[in-house]
Structure 1
């Protein structure tokens, strides 16, 4: 395995560069998935029947908490990658841990929000609106959950093996995934929640 020391560690081998390219292609498929879910939501968002509407259901406090937690986690994962590129293993791991804790806080708030929806009579079976909403939010939440476990496994690998071209590549790809989830959330926040509250 030929290592190019002029490149950042995560790009330092041909295999690593191909893995990053492959992951960008995977993210293209994820964009198609979420685009479909957004399209379904925008088609059905007025179909609330006898169930609650978006205006009745959405509360600004949990949504703002979720947004602050996830956007802050995007910042900390960026700091983690910067520390990784400087060869600062402990700092990198610390920022990754903070990112995952913020992700857990996001998931806890989202679960609380779902419980509140159910108490208000909004389940996946209540209406076309609630079905499309919960499918969109649930899919994003499932991705964050997967990201939490992936990030945890990655931290264990870095702790055992240190910063190598392989662990750096995995960490960078994970950061791309995490940033992608944050971008999807910005669309959810802007076009689902804010639009629904107006």
Structure 2
């Protein structure tokens, strides 16, 4: 197992779980299982995106007015944070594959911190939105009425994304803890499933950013 100095590990027997005969097959199974899971998540987000597209096609001007009231600075900061987190997660996967314990831990930690920074920034944005009463319901300040549809979708899509990101941060924290305590050896098959999920969450945001923040500014 890797020492405190981050040297490569040669014994991966502790990472092999039943019923897999070797690490290669286990790693392929982890990746395949995660892709099957993400297929259902893609369908879920696709339904939200289709709803957005349909309502926007019927109310283009209302959506333009509504989107102009989003905070593009917050959205841009969060986009930069998630893109950077994808980089650190990629490095973590490479490091884990090479069994570089300390580099893996550092990059996983950086990924989790960037994810938390995203949630904090999003929380500040939500507070501003609430202060501006940009929540569909009594006292909603924008007209025409169809602007409320945009903001309803805004809260649903960004809220669901934040839940997925929170789950991702939790998984990263668990994997870090297992590596730190040397409960399991540092190896790529453990990190690969986490990396696939993290990149999926980042990709969803890449689609959300132009739909939410650029629609009223194009």
1:196 is paired with a residue whose SS is coil
Which residue of 1 is the match for residue 206 of structure 2? 186
Pairs within 5 Å for 1:153-172: 153-160=174-181, 161-163=183-185, 168-172=188-192
Pairwise CA distance, 1:164 = 5.2
Residues 1:101 and 2:123 are matched in the alignment: no
**Structure 1 residue corresponding to 2:100, chosen from 84, 88, 108:** 88
CA distance in 1, matches of 2:66, 2:21: 58
Pairwise CA distance, 1:104 = 0.5
Greater helix fraction, Structure 1 or Structure 2: 1
2:215 is paired with a residue whose SS is helix
Bigger CA radius of gyration = 2
Pairwise CA distance, 1:65 = 0.6
**Where does structure 1 lack aligned partners over 5 or more consecutive residues?**
4-11
Pairwise CA distance, 1:118 = 1.0
- CA RMSD between the two structures: 2.0
**Structure 1 residue corresponding to 2:168, chosen from 119, 124, 147:** 147
Which residue of 2 is the match for residue 68 of structure 1? 80
Residues 1:132 and 2:153 are matched in the alignment: yes
Pairwise CA distance, 1:189 = 1.2
1:122 is paired with a residue whose SS is coil
Aligned residues: 185
Assess if the C-alpha contact under 8 Å between 1:41 and 1:136 holds in 2. Answer: no
CA distance in 2, matches of 1:196, 1:106: 23
TM-score after normalising by structure 2: 0.78
Assess if the C-alpha contact under 8 Å between 2:86 and 2:111 holds in 1. Answer: yes
Assess if the C-alpha contact under 8 Å between 2:70 and 2:212 holds in 1. Answer: no
**Where does structure 2 lack aligned partners over 5 or more consecutive residues?**
1-19, 141-147
Pairwise CA distance, 1:121 = 1.3
Which residue of 1 is the match for residue 66 of structure 2? 53
Taking a change above 3 Å as real, the CA distance of residues 170 and 153 of structure 1, as seen in their structure-2 partners, is same
Pairwise CA distance, 1:2 = 2.8
